[in-house]
Structure 1
Amino acid sequence: MTNEVTATELLDGRAVTVIGTGLVGAGWAIAFARAGANVRLYDAQHGAAEQARRWAASQLDEMAATGLVQAPEAI
């Protein structure tokens, strides 16, 4: 018997906030989103969070092209 819980169960509907949207922060955003969590991005630099969102979307598309994820638009 395992004690595994999903991100949804663990977070009880709360979003994960990633502070700092450089390479590492954007990577964490992808990981949390793939686990089913709602993710919010924050960065002190104007426009950085939106840039990270676009980068994450492109990475998910690349992952889909190689079969690592299905339906990246749903993540």
Structure 2
Amino acid sequence: MAAKTEESTLGYEQARDELIEVVRRLEAGGTTLEESLALWERGEELAKVCRRWLEGARARLDAALSESEAEPTADEDEN
């Protein structure tokens, strides 16, 4: 359960940087099967954290764009 709490407090940059390190270690090889599996699982968790942050950012951008499209411009107010 501690991993879930940690995941929710990780910022995007932290998760991304750790994911980069996990991938680097996996690509370098030299780890046992058990270590590789643990790294893979951690990478999956970190990827989910990054995905949630990016989806949240996309939702905020979409909401902001919708708001700006719904607001009348100065030209529309004059007509």
TM-score, normalised via structure 1 length = 0.34
User: Which one has a larger percent helix, Structure 1 or Structure 2?
Assistant: 2
